[in-house]
Chains A and B, each alone.
Chain A
């Protein structure tokens, strides 16, 4: 099952499973097996934005005024998000493109990953504005043990799937010994790895981002770091869409609307899928603990943040048909919602707070008092 960039065999993509069928040949969207992915592409492209459109210059002043514990919270979250988007900017492409079998999903994966690279570039935009030399922040991402712990869990399912796909696509099915370790490669094993990987990506998009979103929006609630918050709002809107795509894939499998073998695997590995979610929740709570180790910030503490993680985890797990594992049924951070509302509502743009009209706008209010000590 060697990969070909243009599969010369005639295949009907309408009869192909989402993954592990024939490689896609013609990128055509006139007929679609799962039309939802093209709708997601359209929606995602309509969200297009550039980090440079958002003015973050006031943030530098705000940042100087933060307490040390608040600076720790802010920078740590940026580091963590940089890690998440570094992984997401490449991994869906590397892991899923060699095995995808329908054109609309292939293009969705590319669109999805591309948007993650916009997010990565926006962290640099934010950090370059805050520090003359942001190297120290970036370099710490690979050394910081708290971040390392998460990086391992986030990347291991991807790495495993990629490695097995590589074995299958070069050596084929069979038992192979690589560096003294035996690997059994067959289609079912590959599909299992794909299933676990998709669950891990889903948990990443569903939960992992939200701890740092909450902190960012808590600053914004106090009118601090607003440029950053505008960027994170745009990122949150994109991530919501990415989450929906992984939920779609997992649900299409488990409701038997795609590959019947994936439905079996979804049933077989249900507990493992649940564990992936639960360990993401546990890690995010640990992360909340790390964030607030030097002190809380106004409007947010470790306990509230952990409650929010539980609240959001319930919601995300129910979307996949799991029972809600936590007691937390009400939203402990109700102000979060106003930052998560998509403002893609068709009213006259100048009348409403539409992000695309507000980005890049700087505060142009000038009062007479501002000119009080002005002399000619």
Chain B
């Protein structure tokens, strides 16, 4: 298993995620005291949409909101590499 992944938010916050814990990007940001946008926390409203500048994520639940190229839904995905996101 890989070591923890780095999550860079808005180019200024450096957070880490343990791959084994399957924490969503939204939870990672909240645990770090950031205030990410969200509504449904279930992948169907799209309110938590963030730009995925670099890296890859995998979805824990099947998202229903449209994911435009270069975006990801923070409430239902977890990083599978170091990622850089912007919101």
- Given A43-B64, A255-B68, A240:B39 Cβ within 8 A: yes
Question: Is the beta-carbon distance between B68 and A321 smaller than 8 angstroms?
Answer: yes
With A39-B62, A341-B40, A342-B40 as known contacts, state yes or no: A240 contacts B68, CB within 8 Å: no
B16-24, B43-51, B52-60, B77-85: which one contacts chain A?
A: B43-51
When distances are taken between beta carbons in the complex, the residues of chain A under 8 Å from B40 are 237, 240, 340-342
With A315-B37, A330-B35, A341-B40 known to touch, is A40 a contact of B66 (CB < 8 Å)? no
Report the minimal beta-carbon distance from A249 to chain B, rounded to whole angstroms: 9
Chain A residue nearest to B37 (CB atoms) is A315
Residue of A240, A247, A321, A331 contacting most chain B CB atoms (<10 Å): A240
**Interface contact A342-B44, CB-CB below 8 Å:** yes
Q: Given A315-B37, A315-B47, A319-B49, answer yes or no on A342-B64 (Cβ-Cβ < 8 Å).
A: no
B32 at the interface (CB under 8 A from A): no
B5 at the interface (CB under 8 A from A): no
Rounded to whole angstroms, the CA-CA distance of A10 and B12 in the bound complex is 58
In angstroms, Cα B35 to Cα A330, docked, is: 8
A97 contacts the other chain (Cβ, under 8 Å)? no
User: Quick one: given A240-B44, A318-B49, are A247 and B37 in contact (CB under 8 Å)?
Assistant: no
Given A319-B68, A321-B68, A341-B42, list of 15 further CB < 8 A pairs?
A: A237-B40, A240-B39, A241-B44, A244-B64, A248-B65, A318-B49, A319-B49, A331-B35, A331-B37, A334-B35, A340-B40, A341-B40, A341-B41, A342-B44, A344-B42
